[in-house]
Amino acid sequence: MGKETKWQIIFEGNLFEGQKKSPVKKRIAELFKMDPPTVDNLFKGGPVIFKSDLLYPQALKYQAAFQKTGAKCRIVSTENPAQAANQSGHYSAPFAEKTKAEKAAASPLNSRIAEAFQVEMNHFPLPWTYKTSLVFVNLGLLLLLLLYLFLVVLFGYAGYSLAIANLKTAFTSWTGKIIGSIIFLITLLIVTAILFFIVKPLLPHRFKKNQTLELNPFKEQTLFSYIQHLCEIMRAPMPRRIEIDCRAGLSARFSAGLAGYLSGDLNLILGLPLPAGLSLNQWTALISHELRHFSEGTNMRLTYMARRINHLFKEGSSSGDSIDAIFVQWSQREELYLQMPAQIGLFLALLSRKLMGLWLQGCRLISGYLLQQLEYDADRHEIQLTGSARFADTLLRLNGLKRVTQQTLQNLPQDWKERHLVDDLMSLVISNLEHLPPATAEQLKRNLSKEETTLFQTQPSDKTRMALVAADPQAGLLNLEMPAKEMFADFSSLSRQLTLHYYRSQMNLPVVEKNLLPVTAVIKHQTHLETSQNSFKKYLAGLFINVRPLPLQARPDLRNQPVKERIGALLKRAAQIKKLLIKDKKSLKEFQDLDEKVLALIQADALLQ
């Protein structure tokens, strides 16, 4: 193993906007137990090594603590450190020569980024009424969660008490003991099964961990410097780690569970499709929006708690887990001893999801309005930094990337069967976005102004957000018109590394690099398939139709029924068909496979005519 890089904290005498030197000096002296003369030496001019020989997580903690005093500082590598004028104690005098890492960082791109962030931003603190309301919202959400757990305990107590009571009553005769024992076991089994399914959505196993790659701050110095500048201007803590994944989104979360929640240590997760398809201005807007949520300590924790409780019930009400998948597989088997417990299990899983959905509506009713206001506040700071003119275009581009990324990832299992896995998912996503059908692009535009914001939403609609932004025009403080991927040292190499990691960790595929195809080959294959299909349809025009008429019995009496009744009957029949399809997916899959073969034979016959 190589020697681990050490880092140091550099102070250059700069303070945050609105801070005065005397109070900052006093806070530094109290926080770091320093005497006044030592503190005065920090402000004599020039950079000062405040702390050295730190691991990167330690350096982040020192930086966060130092910035709480109102003073700015930087994290730099100690590789080949310059000679300091004073080597005594933990603090050194200003050094004249830059380190190797700083020289490398002093590239034109880094200089441009640093220069762009030399702006002053107005921060609008949340009113005390909002913060007070947020406390009551969290109490209400916790009460809802406790009420759910209380009902679980109450049901368990009542069910087990009933089973034991039946058992005691049956112990009056020898025959009663046998029957009572059977009833007791059946009751015990039913109660346990119901309890398991209504508690299961709350268990940690149901959340599939999103496999990420952690970035090396020494290799990605430009990116980390850019994020640090952005954190400083947004007054948010510098993330402890920066990770990447294949989602078209970004998020920040507390690291190390409860310890991270209490200490405020953040992990920033960047979806790599975003820098692949966005400009740096657009990407900055999205990151600054997310960082705004973590810019105030107490508010940050309360908001995070509210979102986590909402997310808990949302996940429990909208999706199944690995256990549900097992019951689905059993329900498709022919063995009766597997189908019976599978049907019961699926019914109980549906029941638990309905119950979680009811609680979710309660959570949204309590917290929806305040969480929407927090999004509007983040939008307000976002447009101040990057301008309001780009807001709608950024949302449209983001929605397009989400749509295309989702489709690309969904097609990967079929690509694996055909041995056409690409070696660079980000390049494939951007290629698919550029070739997006006009109808789909138009639909994305319509969706921006379609949905309305309701009281049961924690996220306001794009239409409402755009209306509020349009009412508050801002020119923007930053002008970074360049591809966002330029923030990375080698974006293409990193994208290929993440792609291979996704295949192995998320899809569990035994993939090696030789199994992957260059993105140009995959795009060429897709284009060839589309061209072949279009040529085939054109050649067989009038000879072959890919649909067949649905034989329906004539019903003249339907014409005399009101339109609403006919529509209701159609909807009812559609619901019955959907229910049957869900019940017998295996037969449907077999029918689809046979249907494809029949169509292929019909096509071949048409060609031979």
How do strand 266-271 and strand 241-245 relate by DSSP bridges?
A: parallel
The answer on pLDDT for 545 being more than 70 is no
pLDDT of residue 1: 43
pLDDT of residue 297: 63
What is the average per-residue pLDDT within 540-548? 57
Most confident of 31-40, 122-131, 170-179: 31-40
Sorted by sequence, the CB contacts under 8 Å of residue 17 that are 6+ apart come out as 120, 121
Tokens found for residue 546: 């890919």
The answer on pLDDT for 96 being more than 70 is no
| Mean pLDDT score of the chain | 79
pLDDT of residue 436: 87
pLDDT of residue 278: 94
CB 222 within 8 A of CB 116: no
The answer on pLDDT for 258 being more than 70 is no
Give the up-direction half-sphere exposure of residue 36: CA atoms within 13 A in the CB hemisphere.
Answer: 4
The answer on pLDDT for 98 being more than 50 is no
pLDDT of residue 400: 94
The answer on pLDDT for 28 being more than 80 is yes
pLDDT of residue 95: 31
pLDDT of residue 429: 94
pLDDT of residue 52: 82
pLDDT of residue 89: 31
pTM here is 0.69
The better pLDDT of the pair 264, 481 is held by 481
Strand partners, 214: 243
Task: Name which of 369, 368, 380 is nearest 288 in CA terms.
Answer: 380
What is the average per-residue pLDDT within 448-468? 85
> How far from chain centre, in Å, is Cα 343?
32
pLDDT of residue 598: 76
Domain boundaries, the chain: 7-106, 128-204, 213-505, 561-609
What is the average per-residue pLDDT within 483-501? 93
**Would you call 245 helix, strand, or coil by DSSP?**
strand
The answer on pLDDT for 272 being more than 60 is yes
Q: What is the pLDDT of residues 192-242, one digit of tens each?
A: 888 888 888 777 654 455 678 888 887 888 898 899 889 888 888 888 889
* Proportion of the chain above pLDDT 90, given as a percent: 15
The better pLDDT of the pair 565, 175 is held by 565
